[in-house]
């Protein structure tokens, strides 16, 4: 007669090999997307102090970073352009310029890695506006939603013309996906896909990113980004983006909104992405630098949590490092 208890779940945790065999969620390099910053006018890469290990790239270092990421098996690259201040204006017009830093960077990435990964570009105006908002301003200082959509439509075509495979619609304007989709289709870019930042929350975790893109933001973005207490409202945003033609929907940030990721995963049949944002990255790096946590375990655990919640695509600044670790 066996001794009590007869059922022992710990049997499947006994050795690393057994734990590996029964693992329910397993990260893969192809699920990771690396965000990259291309800074205009740099002679050498510039470290971002609040994001240890992340830099503003030159065109040359961008190509090298892309090659390294692709060699590690990373699934995609998300590019952000960082113009000089003299190229910023009230309407973000430099973002539409074929010779602008973002469109130049897209062409560089396509030339360097081609179709061996997914080249994604940030379809937003905030890096290019003198006021730092994601759209043009009305006379009362609010963001003019519909005037912004017209610019997004032009910007989408400019990025597709530069060779981007996928556009990251991140501005949180009503109708942004539909406006971009119609413009792309009209211009003959029916095969260019859209990654909708469907639930982008106006949270407190973006500070290091804004330093990375040298944001000129005045005020905040609460009038158009998602309100942190709300989940059902986020699902409505997701429904609208899917109806407008989004190919992938994303939740941003990731760790503070795991419940939203799970709800979105249950809601849609298209792929779900999540963005592990700069503040999430910076917190882990800072705690690890002080010896308070195990850095590598914390990175893996946080990414696994995002995947377990339902994201099959994860944007993370650790993409290349983690992909190399998983692969080798």
Per residue in 62-90, pLDDT (tens digit) is: 999 999 999 999 999 999 999 998 999 99
Is 307 labeled as catalytic in the residue annotation? Answer: no
The Cα–Cα gap between 275 and 306 comes to: 9
The reported pLDDT for the residue numbered 218 is 72
At 222, the pLDDT band (50, 70, 90 cuts) reads: confident
- Decide if pLDDT at 59 tops 90: yes
- Decide if pLDDT at 214 tops 80: no
For the segment 175-199, the average pLDDT, to the nearest whole number, is: 97
- Using the CB atoms, write b or e for 38-50: b if 16+ within 10 Å: bbbebeebbebeb
The reported pLDDT for the residue numbered 50 is 93
Radius of gyration (C-alpha) of the chain in whole angstroms: 20
The reported pLDDT for the residue numbered 132 is 80
At 6, the pLDDT band (50, 70, 90 cuts) reads: confident
The Cα–Cα gap between 271 and 250 comes to: 9
The Cα–Cα gap between 185 and 109 comes to: 23
For the segment 21-40, the average pLDDT, to the nearest whole number, is: 96
Centre a 10 Å sphere on the Cβ of residue 289 and count the other Cβ atoms it contains.
Answer: 11
For the segment 142-153, the average pLDDT, to the nearest whole number, is: 94
Beta bridge partner(s), residue 129: 89
Q: Choose between 173 and 242: higher pLDDT.
A: 242
The reported pLDDT for the residue numbered 224 is 78
Mean model confidence pLDDT for the chain: 94
The reported pLDDT for the residue numbered 235 is 98
Token pair in block for residue 286: 């800072």
- Decide if pLDDT at 120 tops 80: yes
Is 200 labeled as catalytic in the residue annotation? Answer: yes
Specify the range with the lowest mean pLDDT, choosing from 7-16, 28-37, 203-212, 311-320. Answer: 203-212
For 251, phi then psi, to 5°, come to -110, 135
For the segment 108-134, the average pLDDT, to the nearest whole number, is: 93
For the segment 14-22, the average pLDDT, to the nearest whole number, is: 94
At 96, the pLDDT band (50, 70, 90 cuts) reads: very high
The reported pLDDT for the residue numbered 212 is 82
Nearest to 50, CA basis, from 206, 200, 218: 206
At 131, the pLDDT band (50, 70, 90 cuts) reads: confident
The Cα–Cα gap between 133 and 153 comes to: 17
Three-state SS for the chain is CCCCCCCCHHHHHCCHHHHHHCCCCCCCHHHEEEEEEEECCCCCCEECCCCCCCEEECHHHHHHHHHHHHHHCCCEEEEEEECCHHHCECCCHHHHCCCCHHHHHHHHHHHHHHHHCEEEEEECCCCCECCCCCCCECCCCCECHHHHHHHHHHHHHHHHHHCCCEEEECCCCCCHHHHHHHHHHHCCCCCCEEEEEEEEECCCCCHHHHHHCCCCCCCCCCCCCECCCCCHHHHHHHHHHHHHCCCEEEEECCHHHHHHHHHHHHHCCCCEEEECCHHHHHHHHHHHHCCCCCHHHHHHHHHHHHHHHCCCEEECCCHHHHHHHHHC
Q: The CATH number of 27-327 is which of 3.40.50.1110, 2.40.340.10, 3.20.20.70, 3.40.50.11540? A: 3.20.20.70
At 145, the pLDDT band (50, 70, 90 cuts) reads: very high
Q: Choose between 212 and 184: higher pLDDT.
A: 184
- Decide if pLDDT at 1 tops 70: no
- Decide if pLDDT at 142 tops 80: yes
Contact call for residues 245 and 302 (beta carbons, < 8 A): no
For 199, phi then psi, to 5°, come to -125, 85
How do the domains of the chain map onto residue ranges?
Answer: 27-327
């Amino acid at each position: 007669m066996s001794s009590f208890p007869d059922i022992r779940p710990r049997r499947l945790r006994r050795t690393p090999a057994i734990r590996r065999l029964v693992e329910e969620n397993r990260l893969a390099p192809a699920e990771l997307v690396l965000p990259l910053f291309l800074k205009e006018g740099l002679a050498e890469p510039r470290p971002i102090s609040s994001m240890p290990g992340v830099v503003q790239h030159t065109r040359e270092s961008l190509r090298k970073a892309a090659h390294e990421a692709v060699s590690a098996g990373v699934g995609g690259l998300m590019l952000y352009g960082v113009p000089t201040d003299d190229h910023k204006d009230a309407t973000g017009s430099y973002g539409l310029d074929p010779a602008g830093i973002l469109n130049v960077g897209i062409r560089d990435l396509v030339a360097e890695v081609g179709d061996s990964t997914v080249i994604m570009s940030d379809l937003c105006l905030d890096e290019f506006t003198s006021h730092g908002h994601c759209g043009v301003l009305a006379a009362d200082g609010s963001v003019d939603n519909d005037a912004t959509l017209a610019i997004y439509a032009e910007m989408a075509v400019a990025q597709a013309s530069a060779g981007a495979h996928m556009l990251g619609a991140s501005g949180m304007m009503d109708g942004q996906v539909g406006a971009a989709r119609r413009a792309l289709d009209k211009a003959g870019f029916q095969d260019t896909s859209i990654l909708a930042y469907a639930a982008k929350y106006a949270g407190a975790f973006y500070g290091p990113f804004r330093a990375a893109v040298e944001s000129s933001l005045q005020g905040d973005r609460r009038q158009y980004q998602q309100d942190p207490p709300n989940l059902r409202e986020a699902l409505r945003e997701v429904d609208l983006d899917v109806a407008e033609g989004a190919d992938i929907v994303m939740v941003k940030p990731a760790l503070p909104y795991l419940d939203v990721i799970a709800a979105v995963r249950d809601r849609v049949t298209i792929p779900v992405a999540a963005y592990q944002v700069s503040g999430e990255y910076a917190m882990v790096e800072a705690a690890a630098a002080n010896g308070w946590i195990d850095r590598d375990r914390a990175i893996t655990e946080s990414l696994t949590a995002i995947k377990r919640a339902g994201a099959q695509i994860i944007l993370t600044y650790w993409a290349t490092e983690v992909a190399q670790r998983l692969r080798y």
